[in-house]
Structure 1
Amino acid sequence: MNNQSNKNVKFIDLGVIDYKLGWDYQTQLFEKTVGVKIQNRKNTPEQQDATPNYLIFCEHPHVYTLGKSGSPENLLIGEQDMKARHASYYKINRGGDITYHGPGQIVSYPILDLENFFTDIHKYLRYLEEAVIRTLLEYGLEAGRIEGLTGVWLDHVSQQNPRKICALGVKSSRWVTMHGLAFNINTDLSYFDDIVPCGIEDKAVTSLAQELGAGQDINKVKDQLKRHIADLFEMDITS
């Protein structure tokens, strides 16, 4: 085990990036971090290197992604419709079912060695959700969790009209994480009509713009979300 706990996290904003390019980029960082861990096991404690951590933010052009446990039937449109919608489709190696990414949505990929923070995937997911919940509170929106479902929801208590505003799907190996969260800010929600989001048929999807009745400054939301993630994980973030 790495004897040098490293809470330094490099923050990278990729802007708008093709989904496959973003996936390849985070995979490269993920494999690099796992590689350091494997090498450390062969080294004496004095020879071990601290594992790096990264926090990536980006937006993707229209894309549907299906997780390992997902059902292809939850994509409701065919190839022709997808072309007309200027959307692409990937089966990927995270947990969870199908989701949509597109412009106006903050996608965050934390590539963290959790041994630098805590070794608890459940806690990791709850902290990502909590960062979004705290961000929404700054806009006067009380969000939370619904038992048995991942992600962040509005109207999570009475559940008269529960609406998902942030989806989660992660992968981890040797306590190193990849993939992450998708937080709807100014997202075109009509794209969610083409799928059964996260395989859940009876609940709606929403965005910050929809809830507040106006488009929002996505860069401001990014700054708030980054601050809350850093606080919860006690990260030292550098650009």
Structure 2
Amino acid sequence: MTNAPALTDAAAPRLAAPNRVLAVRRLGLVPYEPAWALQEELLAATVAIKTGNRQAQAAGTAPAPTPNHLLLCQHPHTYTLGKSGKPEHLLLDAAGLARHGATYHRINRGGDITYHGPGQLVGYPILDLDNFRPDIHWYLRTLEEAVLLTLAGYGLRAGRIAGLTGVWLGWEEGASNPRKICALGVKCSRWVTMHGFALNVNPDLGYFGHIVPCGIADKAVTSLAQELGRPVPVEEVQERLLPHLLQLLGATTA
């Protein structure tokens, strides 16, 4: 029995070097649907590159690097329901939505219902996790950790609650008033992510009263402004969070 010959350098599959550069877009206040469409466009373009790279590997030609994007924005009053969510967790009918100037969208991320609105920092990373670490649980914990470090910079000791994605105050076991300050919901296609996190900075928390937030009926929602007792600019929080996320990912900006 003879051993198969080893692949020569010319015959070995060629892999693209990991690209850990993020193209960051600060979109400001933008309606939900255009931001969602932009995410879908960027994800589709990245998946198309990855499909082409598989063909390039088979042909022994050089693959192309895949891009990474980070969209930072706020939305007008919006409710979104994830794939596993229950429509009854929205407590407003069409007339009620209109009275509150809010829109409603059923979308393709995981999770239940959540609220987006002015004063909330929303981050949509469209990352090829093959450039970082192809592990969705690691990715979610990384987003949470960036928020935890940001809140620590404001003197808040936030944390996680076992079995509940997101970032919480009053998270310690036995705490009397657990309250969520940041929600997470993502989609991943061929290790390319979309959707992301929503950190309550200065939103009108009354809008959370029209849903069962993330399907959790027995816990409260809070904001950075409510916890500190003063307003905080969303742009300030945005620029404090970005370096933490970059460091945790081992990434740089374009």
Counterpart in the other structure of 2:62: 47
Q: Which structure has the larger Rg over C-alpha atoms?
A: 2
SS at match of 1:125: helix
Of the three residues 1, 4, 12, the one matched with 2:25 is 12
Shift of 1:46: 3.7
Alpha-carbon separation, structure 2, partners of 1:2 and 1:107: 33
SS at match of 1:65: strand
Contact kept in structure 2, 1:2 and 1:37, CA below 8 Å: no
Answering whether residue 125 of structure 2 is matched by residue 99 of structure 1, we say no
Alpha-carbon separation, structure 2, partners of 1:9 and 1:21: 21
Q: Following superposition, which runs of at least 4 residues in structure 1 exceed 3 angstroms of deviation?
A: none
Alpha-carbon separation, structure 2, partners of 1:2 and 1:93: 30
Shift of 1:2: 4.7
Give the unaligned 5+ runs of structure 1.
none
Counterpart in the other structure of 2:96: 81
Alpha-carbon separation, structure 2, partners of 1:132 and 1:8: 20
Shift of 1:215: 0.7
> Which one is further off, 154-163 or 133-142?
154-163
Counterpart in the other structure of 2:5: none
| Per-residue deviation, residues 109-157 of structure 1 (Å, max 9, x unmatched) | 0000000000110000000000000000000000010000000000100
Alpha-carbon separation, structure 2, partners of 1:112 and 1:22: 16
| Per-residue deviation, residues 189-212 of structure 1 (Å, max 9, x unmatched) | 000000000000000000000000
Percent of aligned positions that are identical: 55
1:146-165 residue pairs with structure 2 within 5 A?
146-157=161-172, 158-165=174-181
Answering whether residue 181 of structure 2 is matched by residue 168 of structure 1, we say no
| Per-residue deviation, residues 174-193 of structure 1 (Å, max 9, x unmatched) | 10000000000001000000
Shift of 1:218: 1.4
Counterpart in the other structure of 1:125: 140
Alpha-carbon separation, structure 2, partners of 1:215 and 1:84: 26
Answering whether residue 39 of structure 2 is matched by residue 23 of structure 1, we say no
Alpha-carbon separation, structure 2, partners of 1:134 and 1:86: 33
Give the unaligned 5+ runs of structure 2.
1-13
| Per-residue deviation, residues 19-61 of structure 1 (Å, max 9, x unmatched) | 0000001110011001100110001354210000001100000
Alpha-carbon separation, structure 1, partners of 2:191 and 2:61: 21
Which one-letter code corresponds to 2:227 in the other structure?
E
The 1:2–1:164 alpha-carbon spacing in structure 2 relative to 1, beyond 3 Å, is farther
SS at match of 1:142: coil
Counterpart in the other structure of 2:10: none
Of the three residues 234, 237, 250, the one matched with 1:221 is 237
Q: CA RMSD in A?
A: 1.0
Answering whether residue 157 of structure 2 is matched by residue 142 of structure 1, we say yes
SS at match of 1:216: coil
Q: TM-score, normalised by structure 1?
A: 0.98
Answering whether residue 86 of structure 2 is matched by residue 71 of structure 1, we say yes
Counterpart in the other structure of 1:184: 200
Contact kept in structure 1, 2:15 and 2:62, CA below 8 Å: no
Counterpart in the other structure of 1:200: 216
SS at match of 1:129: helix
Contact kept in structure 1, 2:16 and 2:62, CA below 8 Å: no
Contact kept in structure 1, 2:46 and 2:67, CA below 8 Å: yes
Contact kept in structure 2, 1:152 and 1:164, CA below 8 Å: yes
Q: TM-score, normalised by structure 2?
A: 0.92
The 1:216–1:121 alpha-carbon spacing in structure 2 relative to 1, beyond 3 Å, is same
Contact kept in structure 2, 1:2 and 1:50, CA below 8 Å: no
